[in-house]
Amino acid sequence: MNVFKRLLAASGAAGILIGLGGATQAFAVAPLSGEISLACVTVGETEKITVTTAGDALVHIEVTIGASTVNGGTANGTGLTDANHTFKDQWQVAAVTAITTATVRVWVLTSTGVATGNQSINTTFDIHPVSAPCGTAFARTFTGNYIDTGQYGGTVKKTCDAGVSGTAVFAPTIHIVSYSTQDSTTFALPASLSLSLECNGAAKQLPVLPTTSTITLHESTLPAGAAAAADTTITIGNAAVTATINNAKAAVVTTPTPTPTAIVLPATGQPASTPGIPWPALALFGLIAITGAGLVLRRRS
């Protein structure tokens, strides 16, 4: 299901994408809680991160292991919460050569704005090589708060030139900037969470994001008869934004009739349609003819 439809329907007229009324303020109740199943994990074991929110939300998990950042360990690090408002990601931990600390960052896009997991010891876990396995395993929990800055939403719609019809599908990439925590992230939504906009149809609402954050929309499927639109980047300001993406009609490409090309014979250098004239041969035949005529005249005389 389209991510915008799913989240918009989550709370009736509200939902994750409502942000037209103004800035979102931080709330007293923690908007998210999480659990890292193993505070110490040995290579080859399965690590699991669970995030629970107060309502339907889009969750993005990043795990930094040494200098490498992975999307929740696997490609499953971004997605929607389930019917219990929970999102889970798990993966088999890859090999390390020495004890390494991994850092977890959690971003949650809710109906009232973006929240992030607290940056503390509770959002880390240790990875041990097989040669030095972990001792008794235990879970580690954490909470998160709304980003303490103005957050706004807006709308986006699709317009199409005459002769263009149907629906455009966009792949969104979200860039979140948090000046309050000096943190940021950029992530593309999975293909299953695309945005569909109908030609000259109703506008759809954008996520509520902190000021200066952006949403880039790449048109992955064109309406019928359309020329591709360039990627559109929408910047969140200090008020709700209104964005329009237009699809022009595709230009009609005509193939010109090729001009016939004369074939040149390599031996003579003359066009095939105009054979070369054998002047030396004609001169020889002329001499023979003249000599023959002279012999005939002599015989008659």
SS3 label, residue 122:
helix
- The last residue of one of the domains, among 231, 247, 263, is 247
By residue range, what is the domain housing residue 190?
151-247
User: Looking at residues 266-279, what average pLDDT do you find?
Assistant: 50
Dmax (CA) for the chain in angstroms is 139
11 and 128 both lie in a single domain: yes
- At 111 the pLDDT is 85
158 and 181 both lie in a single domain: yes
> Contact at 8 Å (CB) between 112 and 146?
yes
- At 76 the pLDDT is 66
179 and 224 both lie in a single domain: yes
Q: Give the residue among 253, 259, 216 at the shortest CA–CA distance from 235.
A: 216
Looking at the DSSP assignment, which residues form a beta bridge with residue 63?
Answer: 70, 104
195 and 230 both lie in a single domain: yes
Confidence of residue 20 (pLDDT cuts 50, 70, 90): very low
Mean pLDDT of the chain: 80
CA distances from 156 to 5, 18, 114 (A): 14, 12, 19
**158 part of a folded domain:** yes
Q: Does the structure show a pLDDT above 50 at 19?
A: no
190 and 86 both lie in a single domain: no
10 and 96 both lie in a single domain: yes
Element at 289 (helix H, strand E): helix 279-300
**252 part of a folded domain:** no
**64 part of a folded domain:** yes
Contacts of 297 (CB under 8 A, 6+ apart): none
Q: Does the structure show a pLDDT above 60 at 272?
A: no
**117 part of a folded domain:** yes
- At 235 the pLDDT is 96
CATH number at residue 162: 2.60.40.10
What is the percentage of the chain residues whose pLDDT exceeds 90? 56
163 and 183 both lie in a single domain: yes
Confidence of residue 73 (pLDDT cuts 50, 70, 90): low
Element at 246 (helix H, strand E): strand 241-247
CATH number at residue 126: 2.60.40.1930
Total tally of structural domains belonging to the chain: 2
Element at 290 (helix H, strand E): helix 279-300
**281 part of a folded domain:** no
Q: CA 18, 24, 25: angle at the middle one, nearest 5? A: 150
142 and 10 both lie in a single domain: yes
Cα separation, 130 vs 44, in Å, equals 8
Q: Which residue has the higher pLDDT, 299 or 134?
A: 134
Q: Give the residue among 71, 15, 106, 86 at the shortest CA–CA distance from 189.
A: 71
User: Looking at residues 106-116, what average pLDDT do you find?
Assistant: 93
166 and 133 both lie in a single domain: no
**Range of weakest confidence among 143-152, 155-164, 206-215:** 143-152
- The last residue of one of the domains, among 96, 114, 146, is 146
Cα separation, 290 vs 292, in Å, equals 5
User: Looking at residues 226-246, what average pLDDT do you find?
Assistant: 95
- The last residue of one of the domains, among 88, 119, 146, is 146
User: Looking at residues 54-58, what average pLDDT do you find?
Assistant: 92
7 and 97 both lie in a single domain: yes
138 and 217 both lie in a single domain: no
Confidence of residue 24 (pLDDT cuts 50, 70, 90): very low
> Contact at 8 Å (CB) between 94 and 66?
no
**184 part of a folded domain:** yes
Contacts of 290 (CB under 8 A, 6+ apart): none
159-196 pLDDT, tens digit per residue, is 999 999 999 999 999 999 987 667 889 999 999 999 99
User: Looking at residues 77-82, what average pLDDT do you find?
Assistant: 94
Contacts of 78 (CB under 8 A, 6+ apart): 58, 59, 60, 61, 71, 72, 187, 189, 190, 193
156 and 176 both lie in a single domain: yes
